[in-house]
A and B are shown apart, each in its own frame.
Chain A
Amino acid sequence: MFRFIIAFCAISTASMATAEIDIKTVTSDGGIDAWVVEEPSIPFTALEIRMRGGASLDVDGKRGAINLMTALIEEGSGDMDAQAFQKRLDELAARFAFRVSDDIMSISARFLSENQDEALALLRQALTEPRFDQSAIDRVRAQVLSGIAGDAKNPNRIAGKYFDEVAFGAHPYGSPIDGTVESVSALTQADMFEAHRNTLTRNAVYVSAVGDISADEIGPILDDLLGALPSEGPPEPDHAGFALDGGVTVIDFETPQSVALFGHSGIERHDEDFFAAYILNSILGGSGFESRLMNEVREKRGLTYGIRSYLVPKFHAEMWIGQVASSNDTIAEAIAVTRDVWTDLATNGVTAQELADTKTYLTGEYPLRFDGNAKIAGIMVGMQMIGLPADYVINRNAYMEAVTLDDIKRVAAEYLRPEDMHFVVVGQPVGVETTD
């Protein structure tokens, strides 16, 4: 066992926060790595488990299988049907959440110290002895189908679905993980077992635990919890590319406010310019009220309640996207202003003051994230998934500080490409037309 102590300290001119978290990195006898922070002051533990792969491992023609399977993990296992399982979970007052996204299967557990062993035994049963009873499949399938029908009438979902379809085509990223009415209706119990075998595997597992638990006990716990899972799953998909060209697509939908999803391809998480791009995005359309987009579209013109932009570095694709909603008769102006802001940053970069203010915010805000067991566990497992070392928490702010005005200008010119922006607009926008 390797022990790693991190006292991390962010110091800048305007704000100073220091926090000490003691991250212990452990490898179990069975070869599972885990990061642990011992925090016994509250008698519970937050355990976060991630498995790489996620819904992108759906087998051809079975879109939606992994999503449905994930929803069924809490619907019975071992000798317990769905109701018996939930009854046991309620008795223990443990909280389990099973979620899946494009690339990640995520298992979040919180359990009390007073019944830790029983809670972990129940979690092990859920993960390794699923039942996939036909009655549970039918019941949850109906819920998924109801959700798919809802998405078809949700402007944001309609926009996202079209954007992904054109950008990623036949790649798994090109379709919703829920699947279609046809694909979901055809799923069988055998498909559920196959999806489980392909998705819950040990070779791609990442673990963090924070709370009333010791680094010494985590190894045996994990070997017991995950040891029965297959060691390997199918290969992940190839890089997805990005096939959406610059332009505008209007999708007619009768509703008073149009929603616009926009963007183009982005930057890889491991690119050495990622930090510059991250700072640039904060200035462009990051959280809070100081961004250029928020200032121009909301604060100055009152055209929207909110506008944001996002760097989206997925495992097999990169996007730089944004979202805004405005009344049908003002969305054209919101789009025009958004284009202007994007163009201005690409052409002129940012001011020295903006860079300094944003660095102060980002470096000051970082230590504040570590203020709860569940939050720290979530951050640590996320770091592991993208290959960051434990001492990243010490160095991260230095990486931010190292970004220069020239870096920003170069990255803005290279990665912000107004001519490549595609706007997908759902609603009945006035003065916005689909381009060829």
Chain B
Amino acid sequence: MRRLFALALIAFAPPAIAEEVTTYSLDNGMDVVVIEDHRAPVVVHMVWYKVGSADEPVGASGVAHFLEHLLFKATDVLESGEFSATVAANGGSDNAFTSHDYTAYFQRIAADRLELMMQMESNRMNNLVLTEDDIETERGVVLEERNQRTENSAGALAREQFVAAQYQNHRYGVPVIGWKHEMEELSLQDALDFYDLYYSPNNAILIVAGDVQPDEVKALAEQYYGVIPAEENLPERIRPAEPPQRAERRITYTDPRVSQPYLTRSYIAPERDSGAQKEAAALVYLAELLGGSPFSSVLGKALQFDSQIAVQSGAGYRGNSLDDTMFNVFVAPSEGVSLSEAEAAMDAAIAEFLANPIDPAELESIRTQSRASDIYAKDNVEGLARRYGVALTQGLTVEDVQVWPQVLQDVTEADIKAVAAKVLNRDQAVTGWVVSNAEEAR
């Protein structure tokens, strides 16, 4: 559904491929990535802005996502709703999404409609015409979106609390959709200030994927995006850094809508950095080894096979992030097993992993699957386009994306052991229990 933001508690970052990709920059600083796939006469046209909720001013949480909704309203030449209606009238579909670090707009349409998409998308980069009425109605929509995604979900409310505890100084602690009390106060001026500063070609990346020729895309991009002046006052992306965490943080979230008690732990962890993706790659392996497959991972084996401590367990790591990210583990205990017992068993399994060598066959299996992911990924050109968008808005380069599969292949046992020792420290973590009543919090 439209205008959603991606926030997965547990996500595995797949590797990328490096074929049929052409890149260049326009004179005004807008980067362009073209990914060719000529199997079907389809194109995906995306504009990614290097701005997300973590760039919002204090007190206006949710404005990045709110603005994303408002971009479907009127411009100097388009009526409110005409953008999407025009895409639909041409047989296409369109949508947008916001995260902590980026905001992206895309259309999927017949390849010969690319020019029309560029014409409209470039128009709304600078020419939005918002009214107070738009603000009032669309604020209702985003508040209902928050109700649907968060207020109506005990798990989502719990996660929001845990992430807020993990990031005490950095804006990653504030939810992408915004805190409800601040969303209720979002104004036309909040939206316009954000729009005027951040929506400019030198803060954007154009990605065109599908049945297109790079030189034709370039000519069109120059015609439509190349004429938009760069924003001279674009601020550098400086975010407040987290202070050192000096003590373990623990939270118990109680909500009668919880049916299955569970525990999660997030450890602060390094992200993929340009030219230095080795630690992140090792963390991808660590997540797989600890909790990737319920059948063969450390937690799966220890808690679901060798013992019946848990009905579910897992680990996850999302390396795509501009600033420090999280490494997550979670356990849902079996009937009759308390959360303390489950947590002790989880910690024992992690300690055993840290103390023992890693089975080389396990590493080889992960390598093989990583290679296979590259092959399967080629079947979905939109997915490839997203990889570039996510990377290029979070401080990585095209080269970083293209070497990533090899970086993953080159991970060694020593790399994993080193990063595990560094990251798996309870004093740099938030442990959360989610229960339906006080009785279960034991």
Contact = CB atoms under 8 A, between A and B. Distances in A.
Interface stretch (B34-42, B119-127, B181-189): B34-42
A299 B379 contact: no
B365 A91 contact: yes
Contact of A303 (B72, B81, B140, B257): B140
B144 A303 contact: yes
Given A19-B40, A368-B108, A302 B144 contact: yes
Interface string A252-265: 00111101000000
A90 B365 contact: yes
Given A152-B259, A357-B88, A370-B40, A42 B379 contact: yes
A90 B296 contact: yes
Interface in B346-390: 365, 368-369, 371-373, 375-376, 378-381
8 contacts: A85-B295, A90-B293, A110-B376, A153-B257, A257-B144, A287-B93, A289-B72, A290-B84
A365 B41 CA distance: 11
A42 B91 contact: no
A60 interface: no
Interface in B179-201: none
Given A91-B368, A306-B2, A15 B90 contact: yes
Given A90-B296, A302-B140, A327-B144, 6 more contacts: A15-B92, A302-B141, A306-B1, A325-B152, A365-B91, A372-B380
B340 interface: no
Contacts of A91: 365, 368
Contacts of B141: 298, 302, 304-305
Contacts of A395: none
A82 interface: yes
A33 interface: no
A257 B150 CA distance: 10
A58 to B, nearest CB: 23
Q: How large is the interface on B (under 10, 10 to 19, 20 to 34, 35 or more residues)?
A: 35 or more
A299 B260 contact: no
Contacts of A304: 141, 144
Contacts of A150: 259-260
Interface string A12-27: 1011111100000000
A363 B92 CA distance: 10
A368 to B, nearest CB: 5
A17 B110 contact: yes
Q: Specify which of B112, B136, B144, B381 lies most central, judged by the most chain A CB atoms within 10 Å of its CB.
A: B144
Interface string A166-182: 00000000000000000
Nearest to B84: A289
A155 interface: yes
Contacts of B109: 15, 364, 368
Interface stretch (B52-60, B224-232, B305-313): B305-313
A326 interface: yes
A99 interface: no
Given A90-B296, A325-B144, A364 B90 contact: yes
A15 B138 CA distance: 31
A376 to B, nearest CB: 9
Contact of B81 (A42, A87, A289, A365): A289
B165 interface: no
Contacts of B305: 82-83, 139
Contacts of A368: 40, 42, 91-92, 108-110
Nearest to B72: A289
Contacts of A259: 152
Contacts of B85: 289-290, 357
B89 interface: yes
A16 B110 contact: yes
Contact of B91 (A287, A303, A325, A360): A360
Contacts of A255: 151-152, 257
Interface residues of A, number: 73
Nearest to B295: A86
B334 A371 contact: no
Contacts of B2: 289, 306
A325 B140 contact: no
A306 B259 CA distance: 26
B112 A17 contact: yes
Contacts of B406: none
Given A17-B41, A152-B259, A367-B110, A257 B311 contact: no
B248 interface: no
B169 interface: no
A95 to B, nearest CB: 7
A183 interface: no
B144 A87 contact: no
A361 B110 CA distance: 11
Given A142-B335, A289-B2, A364-B92, A42 B40 contact: no
Interface in B95-144: 108-113, 136-144
A336 B154 CA distance: 29
A42 B378 contact: yes
Going nearest first, the 4 A-B pairs with the smallest beta carbon separation are A364-B91, A302-B140, A93-B372, A86-B295
Contacts of A305: 1, 141-142, 144-145, 147-148
Contacts of B252: none
B258 interface: yes
Contact of A256 (B138, B147, B258, B295): B147
B90 A149 contact: no
B256 interface: yes
A152 B260 CA distance: 11
Contacts of A83: 295-296, 301, 305
B91 A373 contact: no
Given A303-B140, A365-B91, A44 B369 contact: no
Interface in B298-330: 301, 304-305, 308, 311-312
A290 B88 contact: yes
B311 A373 contact: no
Interface in A54-111: 82-83, 85-87, 90-91, 93, 95, 110
A43 interface: yes
Interface string B260-299: 1000000000000000000000000000000001011000
B332 interface: yes
A288 interface: yes
Interface in B64-95: 72, 81, 84-85, 88-93
A327 B147 contact: yes
Contacts of B372: 93, 112
B144 A326 contact: yes
Contacts of B39: 39, 41, 371-372
A146 B313 CA distance: 13
Contacts of B113: 15
Contact of A14 (B91, B260, B295, B379): B91
A93 B375 CA distance: 11
Contacts of B369: 90, 93
B291 to A, nearest CB: 14
A139 B112 CA distance: 52
A257 B91 contact: no
Interface in A88-143: 90-91, 93, 95, 110, 112, 138-139, 142-143
Interface string A369-407: 011111000000000000000000000000000000000
A257 B136 contact: no
Interface string B390-413: 000000000000000000000000
